[in-house]
Structures are given as structure tokens and as C-alpha cells.
Amino acid sequence: NAGVTQTPKFQVLKTGQSMTLQCAQDMNHNSMYWYRQDPGMGLRLIYYSASEGTTDKGEVPNGYNVSRLNKREFSLRLESAAPSQTSVYFCASSHGQLSNQPQHFGDGTRLSIL
Amino acid sequence: AQTVTQSQPEMSVQEAETVTLSCTYDTSESDYYLFWYKQPPSRQMILVIRQEAYKQQNATENRFSVNFQKAAKSFSLKISDSQLGDAAMYFCAYRSADTGTASKLTFGTGTRLQVTL
């Protein structure tokens, strides 16, 4: 009963380093999402993929890239990490077109950039 | 664009008592969905309850219920018989019913609920 799996759970980077956060879901969902969570600001959408083969920018896309590798996997890449990207990152998935269905979240990745 | 506002950064309730968390939202759409998510210290995002805007009846899930006032754009969460395990951050979230929007969620800033003995 895995649901949405994110790796790694914790990571510390130096400014300028690159990093890819991995996300996989086993619920046959069409849509996948990346959010960041900062204190006092709730969750904000970075990028999303409505279906396999498509990706779109969310509210805060600058400094990030994504890849929808296949229906199961959706990765988030930081090409040149900056301290402002220190955050907790959540991946989520949903059926997509069946919008009365909720999003399912992974357990998050705590990323610190020094 | 839609916005979601949670005006109570922190709330406290005694065990076995009832507490209400507030949420207001702004939208020009007539059809949408509203959710409450719970985030305990473990960081998991757990769906608590959801409401379809076209339904007038307020949603209920065991000890959790909502007061949905569509005209006022208000969506409050009531927790009855509070338990220590209810202590968490609670997020209100909005989603358009437009199936072309990939079900994106807009979150409020959260309310931290403390449960005391």
C-alpha cells in the first residue's frame, strides 16, 4: 500500500549544487504535482503534470525543472540550488480528470541549502 | 486566481471539547471543491474531509464536520470531542471543478491546533 513515494526524505546541499527529487505513485493516477511548503505560507504549487507527456508551471516555478518520466514517475530538479529553495517538498498525485477525487501526498523531502 | 485565507495561525482546545477552524476563499467560479487536510508532526498530508460546492448539505466524517456557506465563501471545520491525536496543522484547500485544470489545489496558510488535557 505504498501510494506516493518520495526520495530522499532529507538532503543537505551547498549553494550551486544540483539535485533531483524523485517521486513515484502506484495508484495509476494521471496527474502529478510538486509543492513546496514554507513556514507561514502553506503549500505552493511549483509544477504539475496533468497527464503523461505534459508538464506546466504552477505558482512558483523559477529555479526548478520537472520531468514526467512515465505515468508513475515525476521528478523535480534543482539545477543550481539557492538558499531560498530551502523548504519541504511534497509530491502528490490524483486521477486528474475526475476532479472530485482528492490528491494523495507523499511524505515530503526536507531540503536544506547552505 | 483563487485565494484561500485561514485567519487563525494557532488554536487551542481542551480534550473532549469542540473547536472550529475558519477558512474563507475567493473565487469567481460556481463549481468547485473544498478540502481540509491535516498535517501531524510526521509531515504527512492527510485528507480530513471534502465538500462539493454544488451540494448544500454539509459534509461530515465521524467527529469532523464542515459549515459550508457558499454565498459567504466560508468553509469552517468543526472538530467534536477533540482528542490528543487531533493536534496538527490543518490546511484548507480549494480546487476548481474544471476538469481541464488537472485538479490543482490552492492552499491556505494553515492553522496549528493544540489539544490540551
- B29-50 pLDDT, tens digit per residue, is 888 999 999 999 988 999 999 9
Question: Which pLDDT score, from 0 to 100, does residue B1 have?
Answer: 76
Closest CA to A84 of A55, A44, A56, A49: A44
Which residues from chain A sit within 8 angstroms of residue B99, using beta carbons?
Answer: 96-99
Which residues from chain B sit within 8 angstroms of residue A40, using beta carbons?
Answer: 9, 109
Write the residue in A41, A97, A107 that is nearest to B99 by C-beta. A97
Question: Under DSSP, is residue B45 helix (H, G, I), strand (E, B) or coil?
Answer: coil
**Cα angle vertex A48, ends A44, A54, to 5°?**
165
Burial grade of A80 (CB within 10 A; 0-12, 13-18, 19 or more): exposed
Contact B47 A99 (CB under 8 A): no
Mean pLDDT of A51-79: 94
- Other C-beta atoms lying within 10 Å of the C-beta of residue A100: 12
Contact B99 A92 (CB under 8 A): no
pLDDT at B24 over 90: yes
Write the residue in B50, B104, B109 that is nearest to A42 by C-beta. B109
pLDDT at A98 over 80: no
